[in-house]
Amino acid sequence: MSLQWEPQWEETIIEVYGVRLKVPRDRVTGLYACPICGFGVDATYFFSEKDLVIHILNHAKVKRAERVKVQIVEPGEPAEEKLEEEED
Kindly list the domain boundaries of the chain, sorted by start residue.
9-62
Contacts of 84 (CB under 8 A, 6+ apart): none
Alpha-carbon distance 82 to 65, whole Å? Answer: 22
pLDDT in tens, 20-73: 889 999 999 999 999 998 888 888 999 999 999 989 888 877 665 556 566 666
Per-residue exposure over 19-49, b if at least 16 CB sit within 10 Å of its own CB, e if not: ebbebbbbeeeebbbbbbeeeeeeebbbeeb
- pLDDT category at 87 given cuts 50, 70, 90 is very low
Residue 79 has pLDDT above 80, yes or no: no
Report for 4-8, 18-22, 48-52, 81-85: range of highest mean pLDDT: 48-52
Q: Which residues, at least 6 apart from 11, have a Cβ–Cβ distance to it below 8 Å?
A: 22, 23, 24, 25
pLDDT attached to residue 63: 61
Residues pairing with 76 in the sheet: none
- Rounded Cα distance between 22 and 13, Å, is 4
Percent of the chain with pLDDT over 90: 35
Rg, Å, the chain Cα set: 14
Q: Over 50: is that where the pLDDT of 85 sits?
A: no
